[in-house]
Structure 1
Amino acid sequence: MHTGDWPSTIEDALAVQERLRGRVDLTDDCAELPPTVTGLDVAYGTSDEIAAAVVTLETAGLTVVEERTHRAKAVFPYEPGLFAFRELPPLLAALDQLDHQPDVLVCDGHGLAHPRRFGLACHLGVLTGRPAFGVGKTRFVGTHAAPEASRGSSAPLIDAGEEVGAVLRTQDGVKPVYVSAGHRIDLAHACRLTLALTPRYRLPETTRQADRLSRAALR
């Protein structure tokens, strides 16, 4: 799907989500510890400008392998639950600039933890065919108990009686993050990778690096 035929109305976007969500495959075929991880994030400027950033890190040492950015005007209105339609065009353009195919995509957002079970990580995974999952800073849907205070503790995120993600403590005593599978990876694996990406801070290093790069691209 290219931006030329990108949905421009809420009704069209909902129809696209409905059509594509059946293509989500949560059969886990992602390497247990993939050689690289690619983080994605966007920053918003004035007049609907978006700067997208993708950063690939070596999984073992979390050193930057390559990074790319793309600036563009938003082609879709601001609508909760449909943020992917604003953010995906520049993110896909930035991904296209990478020299190496990502082993797994880590989104600053959600996958199945979405009202229609098709958040950014699902959408990105389906369109690219790559394993993808989301790590959100805040809860979008569902309810949960508080995980224990120690790093690695988690609690199920439940929405309409369905487990759609995990509330994961990445550092002792800090606020948890919200992990959800997107495509070609299961939730337990996504949680293990999230912990591998958070050796010192609450948020994955993929998100931290992509956030830094996207903000710099706006300046």
Structure 2
Amino acid sequence: MLTNPTDSWSQLSPRQAIDLQRQLASQVIQRDDLPEIKTVAGVDVGFENRDTARAAVVVLRLADLEPLDYAIARLPVAMPYIPGLLSFRECPAILDALSRLTIRPDLLLCDGQGIAHPRRLGVASHTGLLTGLPAIGVGKSRLTGEHDAVPDRKGAWVPLEDRGEVIGAVLRTRAGVKPLYISPGHRISLATSIEYVMACLTRYRLPETTRWADGVASARGQRWLERLKNLPGAG
């Protein structure tokens, strides 16, 4: 695990943050370096106001996608909103939430980008490097890159390319709905990233990991938390 640098992030200028992203991007592992995956965790961050991030992590059992553990953390943001630097706002709260879990997940599915980022360091890659955990970016929209049309059938995908490099996949998770933008975060390949996202799908557009984490992190959180009340989460 890398030394936690987030306490100093509020001192970074945007230019320094960009330089740090470029340095860290070279450390991202884009091949499979995975343990046996028994648990998967959804990671999402909402903002209660302009200055407070609310991170939620919900751990699911991969075999049946049942929730096992969860945690929530609220922290002041370290940096104002700047496109491309969102991980500097989100990661401190994510790390806090992860530290509160009683079950350490085998794989993270982060709401956001992995290497499908202008500097190849979205929130999933940044979180993966900071924790040492394998991570996948599951983006609801495109941040960078170009792609062809995706066939309208579940499981179909096309490459997402940027400057001649394949940086992710545009994956149709359900017919008739918008695709998701999947990219390796850390310690996982693109093909395996797609495999695990598909394994976490039920009848919805979003994988169950994302649905749970998004629900708990958002203003709708109380309804989702009611379903988790018997778990050992740190709520």
TM-score range, shorter chain: over 0.9
* Amino acid aligned to 2:142: R
Aligned partner of 1:26 in structure 2 is 30
Change (3 A) 1:71 1:126: same
1:150 equivalent in alignment to 2:141: no
Aligned partner of 2:94 in structure 1 is 91
1:163 equivalent in alignment to 2:166: yes
- CA-CA distance at 1:37 after TM superposition: 0.2
* Mapped partners of 2:50, 2:181: distance in 1: 30
Question: Is there any run of 5+ residues in structure 1 with no aligned partner, and where?
Answer: none
Q: Secondary structure at 2:218's aligned position in 1?
A: helix
1:119 equivalent in alignment to 2:133: no
* Amino acid aligned to 2:76: K
* Amino acid aligned to 1:4: D
1:15 equivalent in alignment to 2:42: no
Answer yes or no: is the 8 Å Cα contact 1:149–1:169 preserved in 2: yes
Answer yes or no: is the 8 Å Cα contact 1:84–1:120 preserved in 2: yes
Cα-to-partner distance string for 1:86-116 (whole Å, 9 max, x where unaligned): 0000110000111122200100000110001
Aligned partner of 2:217 in structure 1 is 214
Aligned partner of 1:64 in structure 2 is 67
* Mapped partners of 1:4, 1:155: distance in 2: 39
Q: TM-score, normalised by structure 1?
A: 0.95
* Mapped partners of 1:37, 1:203: distance in 2: 14
Question: Is there any run of 5+ residues in structure 2 with no aligned partner, and where?
Answer: 223-235
Cα-to-partner distance string for 1:109-165 (whole Å, 9 max, x where unaligned): 001100011111111111111100101000110111111111000000011111100
- CA-CA distance at 1:216 after TM superposition: 4.9
Cα-to-partner distance string for 1:37-87 (whole Å, 9 max, x where unaligned): 011001112241111100000011111110000111111110011000000
| Aligned CA-pair RMSD | 1.5
* Mapped partners of 2:128, 2:78: distance in 1: 20
* Mapped partners of 2:153, 2:34: distance in 1: 27
* Mapped partners of 1:163, 1:118: distance in 2: 14
Q: Secondary structure at 2:45's aligned position in 1?
A: strand
Answer yes or no: is the 8 Å Cα contact 1:51–1:217 preserved in 2: no
- CA-CA distance at 1:173 after TM superposition: 2.1
* Mapped partners of 2:221, 2:195: distance in 1: 33
* Mapped partners of 2:146, 2:117: distance in 1: 12
| 1:30-69 matched pairs, under 5 angstroms | 30-31=34-35, 34-69=37-72
* Amino acid aligned to 2:120: R
* Mapped partners of 1:48, 1:4: distance in 2: 15
Change (3 A) 1:201 1:217: closer
